[in-house]
Structure 1
Amino acid sequence: MTKALQGRRVLIIEDESLVAMLLETILDDMGCEVIGPDSNIDDGLKSATTEAVLDAALLDVNVAGREVFPVADALKARGVPFVFSTGYGEAGLPEHWRGHPTIQKPFTEGAIRDALMKAMNISLA
């Protein structure tokens, strides 16, 4: 268990149920409290704007044929750190989102942990 992430509330937006379940398991193993997962942009936007406490989010870039960027904008406006998840890696992001923490599918538990810690500005040491 990663103590630095223990108790953190992490929103998952992912439309592939097996990937969402894997993320839930990984986050649970790290001691995080999972919010969602939301499998469409509208539900994700609702969670991103109405959940009282969000420590971070994992955002699939392409959710049921729609891009997740409206949710990313809402989280950014609230100051909630997030990580993009995509099969295309950072190269698949629009220019203004490049440089943002991104994990490429298929991902590992370590990649998720490191990306979340980077997004939340938690030392990896």
Structure 2
Amino acid sequence: MTSEQKRIFIVEDEVLIAFEMADALEDLGFEVVGPSTHLGNALDMAQDMEIDMACLDVNLGKGKTSEPIAKILAARGIPYVYITAYDVGQIPFIDPNDNVLQKPVSMGDLRRLLIKATEEE
């Protein structure tokens, strides 16, 4: 890992999407942590793993969301990007200052937003 390479944590409940995102982010030069497809595992990883930033799918299925993961990351000072297929206005815990991308995600847009999120630290 180079000093410039960022460790990025992926939380996505759809396994195929998670691994496609991991491959794309590795191609962009990130070191991928995870991906995590379950809330419990993601909470543990968000608390304990050495990561520089995260991509969080908003809806993790069965009524679960990535909100508690985001809270842990925020408390640790780790920037994150929410990724969702829903209209942002439908998600009560998303703050207007949060970084959000709509699905389907363009890897170029994701990279730009991750750079922006890192600069806001």
Aligned to 1:8: 6
Distance 2:97 2:16 in 1: 27
Aligned to 1:115: 113
CA contact (8 A) 1:89 1:103 kept: no
Matched, 1:99 2:97: yes
TM-score by length of 2: 0.89
Deviation of 1:96 after TM superposition, in Å, equals: 5.1
Deviations 1:49-87 (A, max 9, x none): 011x21100000011220110000000000000000000
Aligned residues: 116
Name the SS of the counterpart of 1:67 in structure 2: coil
Equivalent of 2:73 in 70, 75, 92? 75
CA contact (8 A) 1:90 1:98 kept: no
CA RMSD in angstroms, aligned pairs only? 1.5
Aligned to 1:39: 37
Distance 2:103 2:94 in 1: 21
Give % identity: 35
Aligned to 1:3: none
Instruction: Trace 1:17-96 onto structure 2 (pairs within 5 A).
Output: 17-51=15-49, 53-65=50-62, 66-94=64-92
Structure 2: 5+ residue stretches without partners: none
CA contact (8 A) 1:10 1:33 kept: yes
Distance 1:89 1:36 in 2: 26
Deviation of 1:98 after TM superposition, in Å, equals: 2.8
